Amino acid sequence: MVLNLDNTLLNFLMEIFMKYFCAAIFFTLVSFETYAGDFDGVWATDSRPGEYFMVRSVGGSVVVVRLGDNYEIFLGNLNEVDAHIETFKGEASFAADINFVSNNEATLSVLSCAPIEVCDFQPGSVLAFKKFF
């Protein structure tokens, strides 16, 4: 028996799989530590309503998973209150600096993004983030 799936259904199933895969990566990293860091949690920005950014720091590394219309994974280094992240999984090649102003507020400065037509955040943009929990 041969199962024929049209591209729309196949794309939908792949999208669901990848979102769960991203969440699994995030929660696997969370399980390695028994405590949450000061900046770990779910963050949001008014610039992208309905999207959430899960942040997890382990040692000097940081993982950011973007969930919403698009899902992306960013990896980087954390040095006290400053982080530099780059795309690990996503449509665009993206780089940004994050400054954690406090445990509940951060600013993200977009350094580069290409190809520009798929970038939600343009180079030179500065976005304010607040932590949900």
pLDDT recorded at residue 24: 65
pTM, to two decimals: 0.72
Q: Which CATH number fits domain 7-131: 2.60.40, 3.40.5, 1.10.10, 2.40.128?
A: 2.40.128
Sign, CA torsion 82/133/123/70: positive
Q: How confident is the model at residue 32 (pLDDT cuts 50, 70, 90)?
A: low
Q: How confident is the model at residue 37 (pLDDT cuts 50, 70, 90)?
A: confident
Nearest residue to 108 (alpha-carbon basis) of 39, 61, 36, 33: 39
Query: Do the strands 126-131 and 72-79 form a parallel or antiparallel pair, or are they unpaired?
Result: unpaired
Ordered by start, the domain boundaries in the chain are 7-131
pLDDT recorded at residue 2: 47
pLDDT recorded at residue 133: 81
Instruction: Please give the mean pLDDT across all residues of the chain.
Output: 82
Burial track 35-68 (b if 16+ CB lie within 10 A, e otherwise): eeeebbbebbbeebeebebbbbbeeeebbbbbbe
Distance CA 90, CA 70 (A): 8
pLDDT recorded at residue 132: 85
Q: What is the mean pLDDT of residues 41-58?
A: 90
Which of residues 62 and 38 earns the better pLDDT score? 62
Q: How far is CA 20 from the centre of its chain?
A: 14
Q: What is the mean pLDDT of residues 27-51?
A: 76
